[in-house]
Amino acid sequence: MSATERFLRYARVHTTSADNTGTTPSTACQWDLARLLAAELKELGLESVSVDENCIVTGWVPAAPGYEKAPVIGFLAHMDTSPAFSGEDVKPVLHPDYDGGDVALPRAGRVIKTSDFPFLKDLAGKTLITADGSTLLGADDKAGVAEIVELAARLMAGGIPHGRVAVAFTPDEEIGQGPDHFDVAAFGARYAYTVDGGAAGSIEYENFNAASAVVDIDGVSVHPGSAKGVMENALLIAAEINAALPPEEIPARTEGYEGFFHLDGLKGTAARARMGYIIRDHDWEKFQAKKALLEKVCREVGQAHPTARVELDIQDSYYNMRRQIEPCMHLIDNAKKAAELAGVVPTVEPIRGGTDGARLSFMGLPCPNLGTGGYNFHGPMECVCAEDMEKVVEILLNIVKLYSEA
């Protein structure tokens, strides 16, 4: 079985996570893929395969004879798909010998256009996999799951020098809870990689510092006919707060290392409103400054409306893993070399987001992120390249070989 065949099987399993359910995993459907993966790993012969009470799948590929002292390397991917778009009843569509042009999806009249996604031209001649237009595909991160399982299968088949390899599949990454119950000590790896990125050969070890912020506003609601001098419209106060933030520091106007404020939720009435923000920046000082600015804006707007109430709650989510990876840059050097050995040009770039690896790195498991061969995550335009998935498996195998020489 190839990584592509495995992916097609996993993509059909509904695993969408959900915010604020109060359970782990956040949705019961994630158990279905967890149990399927555990069964496959046991069938392959991995050691100590388990699905724990938090829906985390783990197992170990035993070291090849003579390589028992090699450092234990781990590989992780997440099973859930984003709640931003439907991940139920996914029907993968194969486009063999893709011509590099626009891709018309069978349903909903959607077209993946090269004018919007220029990278598509680089995939000409390969096999492109999409959904049918009615759902996301789930390459984020079932492509990573498939590549890791295929890595395990090839190692268990023998003939490849390797130390012990630890594998894990986690729930709820898409809602920021993937490592919440992860036992780093029990996992047993000295170093690890998440396989949860974009193009094959991409290597990421810098990510945003991240925080979430909730602004609750209680206005003063009276009949609009007698509101003069009395009414405090909570929705207008919310608009005032947002207008006081730098207009150029939003996702649609930033790139690379530039951070942002992202208003990703606003609901309410004239009487009461709630705003949800995510705050991001690669630079620690700029990250702190952004949080301080939102605090200042909320305080000043609240003071300007003394009969209303403005309350802000900011919670840090994760931090830039760079400072945890820099003491062990061999992880990046070996990933680059592994890509080159597979005939792939490596690219090192910052993540404009976060991964489980960011939090795991601060939990004592240095864990940069590797590409999967997928693109356009979290929506119906998502796609993955079959040949690039197989290249990723080669890259993972090369990483394992390089550490067996350590």
User: Of 37, 2, 25, 386, nearest to 175 (Cα)?
Assistant: 25
Determine the Cα–Cα distance for residues 203 and 325; give it in Å rounded to an integer: 12
| Residue 164 φ/ψ region, left for φ over 0, alpha for ψ in the -120 to 50 degree band, beta for the rest | beta
Please tell me which residue in 173, 281, 356, 388 is annotated as part of the active site.
173
Phi-psi region of 378 (alpha: psi -120 to 50; beta: other; left: phi over 0): left
Instruction: Assess contact for 24 and 55: CB atoms under 8 A.
Output: yes
**Nearest to 232, CA basis, from 312, 293, 303:** 303
Tokens of 343: 């005939």
Which residues does 107 contact at the CB level (< 8 Å), separation at least 6?
Answer: 132, 133, 134
| HSE value, Cβ hemisphere, 13 Å, CA-based, for 82 | 16
Query: Among this protein's residues, is 394 annotated catalytic?
Result: no
Spatial distance between the Cα atoms of 249 and 73, rounded to a whole number of angstroms: 39
Residue 48's contacts (CB-CB under 8 Å, 6 or more residues apart) are 58, 59, 60
> Which amino acid would we find at residue 373?
G
Structure tokens at 8: 């097609």
Task: Give φ, ψ of 278 to 5 degrees.
Answer: -115, 140
Q: CA 352, 355, 356: angle at the middle one, nearest 5?
A: 165
In the annotation, is 173 catalytic?
yes
Q: Which residues are catalytic?
A: 80, 173
